[in-house]
Amino acid sequence: FTLLFFSFCALTIWVIWVAMQTGFPAKPAANVAKLAPGFVPEFSAMAFALALLATLAWAWLVKWRIGHHRAAIWKSMVLPAAGAALCWLLLMSLWLPLLDFARSYGPLVQKIQGITGSATCLQYAGLSQAQGTAFLFHGKVRLQPLQRPDSDCPWLIMDEKNLPLLSDKINKLGWDPVVTVQRPADRNERILVFRSAKEQSPDALGLPALTSD
């Protein structure tokens, strides 16, 4: 069972990685594109070499255990420990860019900075602690609590889930919605981007108003 389980897991990781890099097999590649839209895989020679060495070491260990110590194979934790280490190493080398893309807020922040341009200050309302930290870390911007539009802080961002609670206040303060930006790997997490009602309209900015990205 140990041999079959960890060998199957390692094979699955390799097949999906090959699909990400080459597009074949087509079905795993399509699944990755669906689950992580916008992800662009990059080949890393170091990660590939590390994963290949680990896989070869696993193959050698399997051959050694079943070829020379058949009677002791059920009494040792060598194979389970090595199999777990192998799968962890493959995930942290071959799949690390994909996992980082799927779990990180970096792509979301980059999308929003493509809208706000060179703005170094963003007003915020209804953001979670994780979202706020992501903008501070990935965006290197200053965050300012919601108030009236300011020339030094002309953009407002907020979690879409909090719009019903804050929509009246946002409208009274003079903010207009510009676009909704979805976190690539999470359909339920969207950030609304607002700009001063006195500034350019969404059409002038070349952006669709309140549409999914």
| Predicted local confidence at residue 133, as pLDDT | 96
Mean pLDDT of the chain: 88
pLDDT(205) > 80: no
For 108, other C-beta atoms within 10 Å of its C-beta total 24
Question: Sorting pLDDT into bands at 50, 70 and 90, what band is 211?
Answer: very low
Q: Which amino acid is at 49?
A: A
Mean pLDDT, residues 169-198: 91
Give me the torsion for CA of 5, 8, 9, 13, rounded to 10°.
170
Quickly tell me which residue has 């009677």 as its tokens.
Answer: 71
Q: HSE-up of 17 (CA within 13 Å, CB side)?
A: 22
pLDDT(202) > 50: no
Question: Sorting pLDDT into bands at 50, 70 and 90, what band is 11?
Answer: very high
| Predicted local confidence at residue 138, as pLDDT | 95
Q: What is the DSSP string of 33-48?
A: HHHSTT------HHHH
- 58, with CB counted inside 10 A (0-12, 13-18, 19+), is buried
Instruction: Note the pLDDT tens digit of each residue in 28-74.
Output: 999 999 988 889 999 999 999 999 999 999 999 888 877 765 555 55
Question: Sorting pLDDT into bands at 50, 70 and 90, what band is 213?
Answer: very low
Q: 59: part of which helix (H) or strand (E)?
A: helix 45-68
Are the C-beta atoms of 131 and 159 separated by less than 8 Å?
yes
Rg of the chain taking only CA atoms, in angstroms: 24
What's the count of helices (H) and strands (E) in the chain, helices before strands?
9, 5
Question: Sorting pLDDT into bands at 50, 70 and 90, what band is 187?
Answer: confident
Instruction: Note the pLDDT tens digit of each residue in 136-180.
Output: 999 999 999 999 998 889 999 999 999 999 999 999 999 999 999
| Predicted local confidence at residue 79, as pLDDT | 85
